[in-house]
């Protein structure tokens, strides 16, 4: 950690202690000065001077020595920690601070600092550790997106290789990404002034940390309308107050996490079809959504960053291929079984300490919840003396008590390997019938990575968007065997021949791939037993009628699909696996090598419980006991009326 930040952290901490409103620990000014002096002495004892030849901070100047404010007078709106009175203007914008001549002073200036292309010279000078983490994060590399695409196109033999989206070339898979996917990565430059919106993509540090006040927005409009002659007096702030809008631009795509969280499901409707229709919404990119049900956390006013802290959003500096490897947080960290993992305030890392101080939290005398998987703290949480846990909403400052797991969740042995999201997600997005074809004659093809127009473009045609309860799949690796939600990630055809000039339809590959997914449609009430054990969609068969029939004392499950069979593999259009039949050898049906559908044996085990539910109520004594003891003891003492399934 560099000397400057160590000093800043310590001085900030002393400042906080000295000015504590509650007066728990008050000291005299002489004592404060003495303490600061001691801290500085020990920090600088073995360090080079801040202004030495090798210091990253040698170019920082205070505003009084800069020429910038000769023209840009009386500007306001800055965040407290980015005020030019403290760090000047050139710390962020560079330029020549010694001249009042416009052309000279603006030479080498960065108008919109924070893009990753210039971050080492701007934001990274004061935040080198954060920049290093961001450069390795999945939001920058898009490794998983590239890996899966190359795997599906047959350009890689595994979806687990490491990639960086800015290093891809122009293979069929690469061009597919450039044409349809490459907007959403932090390396994309923000080139226009203005607030972050639903249409924003990339922008490096700006993507999360740029905030325009209403006054700053009005000033910008006036500045542009005046042909850039009337300079703004309200500057946008750069701070840690990340809103959901900052996440929306990218995370409303693909698995639609942002829109799911707010309760909206994408449709193929045109905006003119839903004019003045209740329950529909047209977003800024003209996509039309219908309301299903919002996540309980969104309903309570919680932001994305209330759960996904800086440690998770910016990453930990390691390179990951897929998002589930990078996301360490679990529901059980806040909704714990017995008691949460905690750390004391004085054990916070420097990054967490600064967030704590910037948000002016007051619970330094209490334990703070830490994430079990990697130990990073959730600084907006605390546990009081009575053992009750609370979360402070980062958007509105509201206090939310964190409820432990319900009794049934904590004592349920039968579902101990089932993720929280599997039971508590009310719905998830589904799309099927996607066809990808290369149009070599498209005259204005836009390369999303290079931001250039050319000729020839991949185009995607989707048959249907819908929603349902999530399907279920099995995450199985060396660490665990776990049931998680699954969605139809890619039920699609790719006309590979069209890219190399072959006749349309002569070289088409078909893929039926489901993907692990955390829908972010959490509700308090868990899905009922039948919604898993007697639900065709949940089991992977697709929509349809799944019925348990008893004839002549023999019980059998029957399934009638809603969709016609796809001619490529003779499965229902929306299915993942065949009904009670093994998947053909060699068939790849998942976007992950450690995530799969249920085996036939597992399907039978689930449907066995489903058969019991035909007569036994799920809240009845028998079924409730099976949650604790498992079903095996009850199979040994069956009632003569019980007719279990016969498997063909």
Tokens of 425: 């997600």
- Beta-carbon contacts of 20 under 8 Å, excluding residues fewer than 6 positions away, are 26, 362
Least confident range of 41-45, 139-143, 318-322, 451-455: 41-45
CA atoms of 616 and 23, how far apart (whole Å): 61
Q: Where are the beta strands (DSSP E) in 370-413?
A: 381-383, 389-392, 399-402
- Beta-carbon contacts of 637 under 8 Å, excluding residues fewer than 6 positions away, are none
Q: What is the average per-residue pLDDT within 468-484? A: 94
Q: What is the average per-residue pLDDT within 290-308? A: 97
Q: pLDDT (tens digit, 9 = 90+) per residue, 448-466? A: 999 999 999 999 999 999 9
What secondary structure letter does DSSP report for 233? S
- 410 pLDDT tier (thresholds 50, 70, 90): low
Higher pLDDT, 81 or 508: 508
CA atoms of 457 and 182, how far apart (whole Å): 13
CA atoms of 318 and 277, how far apart (whole Å): 47
DSSP, collapsed to helix, strand or coil, labels residue 311 as helix
**Is the pLDDT score of 483 beyond 60?**
yes
Q: What is the average per-residue pLDDT within 590-595? A: 97
Alpha carbons within 13 A on the beta-carbon side of 647: 12
Q: Hey, where are the domains in the chain?
A: 8-53, 143-180, 257-299, 304-329+339-403, 410-635
Question: Contact 90/106 with Cβ under 8 angstroms?
Answer: no
Higher pLDDT, 443 or 40: 443
**pLDDT score, position 41:** 41
Q: pLDDT (tens digit, 9 = 90+) per residue, 134-190? A: 999 999 999 999 999 999 999 999 999 999 999 999 999 999 999 999 999 999 999
**pLDDT score, position 34:** 42
**Is the pLDDT score of 11 beyond 50?**
no
**pLDDT score, position 407:** 76
Q: pLDDT (tens digit, 9 = 90+) per residue, 348-390? A: 999 999 999 999 999 999 999 999 999 999 999 999 999 999 9
Count of CB atoms within 10 A of residue 527's CB?
A: 17
Tell the residue number behind the tokens 């679990």, with chain if given.
330
Count of CB atoms within 10 A of residue 165's CB?
A: 23
- Beta-carbon contacts of 471 under 8 Å, excluding residues fewer than 6 positions away, are 485, 486, 487, 488, 514, 537, 538, 539, 540, 576
**Is the pLDDT score of 117 beyond 60?**
yes
CA atoms of 580 and 558, how far apart (whole Å): 10
Task: Determine the length of the chain.
Answer: 648
């Amino acid at each position: 950690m560099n000397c400057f930040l160590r000093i800043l952290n310590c001085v900030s901490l002393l400042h906080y202690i000295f000015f504590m409103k509650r007066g728990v620990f008050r000291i005299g000014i002489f004592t404060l000065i003495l303490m600061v002096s001691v801290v500085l002495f020990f920090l600088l004892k073995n360090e080079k001077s801040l202004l030495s030849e090798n210091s990253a901070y040698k170019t920082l100047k205070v505003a009084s020595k800069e020429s910038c404010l000769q023209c840009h007078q009386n500007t306001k709106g800055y965040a407290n920690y980015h005020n030019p009175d403290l760090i000047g203007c050139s710390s962020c914008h560079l330029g020549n601070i010694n001249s009042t001549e416009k052309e000279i002073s603006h030479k080498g200036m960065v108008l919109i600092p924070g893009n990753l292309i210039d971050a080492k010279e701007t934001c990274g000078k004061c935040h080198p550790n954060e920049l290093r983490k961001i450069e390795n994060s999945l939001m920058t590399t898009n490794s998983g997106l590239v890996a899966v695409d190359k795997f599906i196109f047959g350009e890689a033999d595994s979806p687990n290789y490491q990639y960086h989206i800015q290093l891809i070339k122009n293979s069929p898979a690469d061009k597919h990404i450039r044409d349809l996917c490459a907007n959403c990565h932090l390396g994309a430059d923000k080139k226009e002034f203005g607030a972050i919106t639903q249409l924003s993509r990339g922008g490096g540090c700006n993507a999360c940390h740029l905030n325009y006040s209403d006054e700053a927005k009005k000033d910008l409009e006036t500045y542009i309308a005046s042909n850039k002659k009337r300079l703004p007096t309200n500057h946008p702030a750069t701070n840690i107050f990340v809103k959901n809008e900052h996440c929306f631009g990218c995370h409303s795509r693909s698995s639609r996490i942002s829109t799911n969280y707010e309760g909206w499901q994408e449709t193929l409707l045109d905006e003119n079809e839903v004019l003045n229709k209740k329950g529909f919404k047209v977003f800024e990119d003209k996509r039309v959504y219908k309301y299903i049900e919002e996540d309980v956390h969104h309903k309570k006013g919680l932001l994305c960053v209330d759960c996904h802290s800086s440690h998770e959003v910016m990453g930990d500096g390691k390179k990951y291929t897929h998002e589930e490897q990078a996301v360490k947080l679990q529901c059980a960290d806040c909704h714990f079984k017995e008691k949460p993992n905690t750390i004391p305030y004085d054990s916070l890392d420097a990054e967490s300490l600064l967030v704590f101080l910037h948000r002016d939290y007051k619970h330094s005398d209490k334990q703070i919840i830490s994430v079990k998987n990697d130990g990073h703290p959730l600084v907006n949480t605390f546990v009081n003396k009575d053992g009750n846990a609370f979360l402070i909403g980062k958007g509105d400052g509201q206090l939310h008590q964190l409820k432990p797991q319900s009794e049934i969740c904590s004592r349920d042995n039968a579902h101990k390997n089932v993720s929280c999201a599997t039971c508590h997600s009310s719905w998830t997005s589904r799309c099927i019938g996607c066809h990808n074809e290369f149009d070599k004659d498209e005259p204005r093809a836009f390369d999303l990575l290079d931001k250039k127009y050319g000729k020839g473009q991949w185009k995607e045609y989707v048959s249907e968007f819908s929603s349902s309860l999530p399907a279920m799949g099995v995450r199985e690796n060396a660490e665990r065997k776990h049931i998680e939600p699954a969605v139809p990630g890619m039920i699609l055809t790719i006309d590979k021949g069209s890219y190399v000039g072959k006749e349309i339809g002569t070289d088409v590959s078909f893929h039926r791939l489901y993907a692990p997914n955390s829908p972010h449609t959490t509700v308090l009430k868990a899905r009922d037993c039948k919604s898993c054990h007697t639900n065709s969609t949940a089991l992977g068969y697709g929509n349809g009628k799944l019925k348990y029939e008893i004839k002549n004392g023999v019980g059998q499950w029957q399934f009638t699909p809603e969709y016609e069979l796809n001619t490529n593999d003779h499965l229902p259009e929306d299915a993942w696996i065949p009904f009670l039949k093994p998947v053909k050898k060699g068939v790849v049906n998942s976007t992950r090598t450690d995530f799969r559908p249920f085996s036939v044996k597992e399907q039978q085990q689930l449907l066995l419980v489903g058969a019991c539910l035909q007569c036994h109520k799920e809240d009845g004594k028998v079924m409730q006991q099976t949650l604790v003891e498992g079903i095996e003891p009850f199979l040994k003492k069956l009632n003569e009326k019980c007719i279990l399934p016969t498997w063909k």
